[in-house]
Structure 1
Amino acid sequence: MKRIAVFTSGGDSPGMNACIRAVVRTAIYHGLEVYGIRRGYNGMIKGEFWKMESSSVSNTIQKGGTILKSARSQDFMTKEGRQKAYEQLKEYEIDGLVAIGGNGTFTGATLFFEEFGIPVVGAPGTIDNDLYGTDYTIGYDTAVNTALDAIDKIRDTADSHERVFFVEVMGRDSGYIAMPCAIGGGAEIVMIPETITSVPQVIDTIKNGWERSKTSFIIVVAEGDEEGNATDIAAKVKEALPIMDIKVTILGHVQRGGSPTAADRMLASQIGIATVEGLLNGKTDVMAGIVNSKLVFTPFKDTINKKKIINQRFTRMVEILSV
């Protein structure tokens, strides 16, 4: 293996640049040439390749987003699109790929490997922390701290005006952001896709709290909760409790941005090194991750198909601490 390429795909996450930096410098350390592919699979199809040197990633470890840009590619999901991508890789004599992203990225990577045999090792770059095969994903710690900082500020207003705030955080299929935000932010309720929390339960909790002289409430809602989004849930609660002053805050994409925390920089650096050394050691069609403080390589099919479970004791913690 003489030449590798690295790209980011799907939603951006804080720490992606730290991972790119680690990939580039590890490749150079081992005597490899390294190219960056701009705009993910779209860029691979169009030949947007950038020969990277050590200086290419100087002053990037602290930056959010991704210097390689990111995009979702419909063309890559076609056989013709993947054929074009393969031809571009052959033109640039790329021997292996590092794919930084989440489920969609790895779905494309495993299909690409099956069809063309290009070795691919993945790095888990997503704020959702929903990938099987790693305790934490790159960007998760930063996203949680960003959301928690916002909830702390909302709590001040909720307390001052004696309001009920529904705060929606990201998590279409996972409550991994919502749960630590609820515990760390002192929320009365958390609503996540992994557990059933009905609107009547929310109403009862608010009523019971009010009777105990609670005058403000924070309800953290993962955007993919079975009862709907925060706006829908808040409307139902307002209908049942018209006397309550109810507000909704949707944190949205603010959770994706910002300078990565120390934890995310460390994780991204460790995994970036592992992806390159994994390729050199013959690893392919796998994701590098950290489980119980140990480096592991998990097949893409497992990261895509196996469910990462939230510990149910966290739900009980919210219930106990909200009394």
Structure 2
Amino acid sequence: MPSTNPKTYDPTPSRKVAFLGLGVMGFPMAGHLALAGHQVTVYNRSAAKAQAWAGEFKGQSAATPREAAAGCDLVFCCVGNDDDLRSVVLGADGVLAGMKPGAVFVDHTTASADVARELSAAAAAKGLKFVDAPVSGGQAGAQNGLLTVMCGGDKAAFEAARPAAMAFSRAFTHLGPSGAGQLAKMVNQIAIAGLVQGLSEAIAFGQKAGLDMAQVLEVIGKGAAQSWQMDNRGKTMIEGKFDFGFAVDWMRKDLGLVLDEAKRNGARLPVTALVDQFYADVQNQGGRRWDTSSLITRLK
């Protein structure tokens, strides 16, 4: 969390909630829940991180997902991938074993639509609700409490979770049945992949042409070429700075989900498939943890 918190929270009844996964996204997201007045218990695979969060935000930490979920109205989660998600949801120490009847599990992991449907069915079998709710906005969005959240699942469960989730959200939107949130996040990543490659080519071309690209982006950023990527990554791309932001490894994981889903539904994604391979090149250059805007390094 930043040292100063500009977020203002809409008044909402205090809920007993849990948050599983305290990475660069989950740590501040759980923090916003606590700052909004909710009673928060956290779980993290590394217990030291959970204890540090509890000390900073005056919350509680638990040794297992099951213990974290005990008595909670809502359980939020943000972990790495499908297997990580199953590991905290299923089994004797999983969150479904500890949730009270009628409680809602909200998963912010970017995962497959298949695992969302699988875990939704597992939750329903225990009288619980599951909402797949991947996010967009990156680390800055999590820290500032301004994430865009794409949700799939039962509409009543979505409505039950929304007031608390707005503590870390700019928008929290229901898009359809289980899996719809994950599919919408795939749309988001397809759009970003193409935009970043286009911006990379534009900047590299302008530099080869001898233009002052900071000035050029200032000009074209007021017209039809404007995008979030240009506004937030154009300057650092010109400067060759990539040691921040959404890592290439994470984008490749997400694009892998996209391409797998496209094989199932028949969508044709020639540009996305190509950009995925360009990101593989960046990984091979040693850029696994560089920001996704590092695509431009292939063109230097």
| TM-score bucket of the superposed structures, by smaller chain | 0.3 to 0.5
More relative contact order in 1 or in 2 (CA 8 Å, sep 6+)?
Answer: 1
TM-score (normalizing by structure 2): 0.33
Greater helix share, structure number: 2
Question: Larger C-alpha radius of gyration, 1 or 2?
Answer: 1
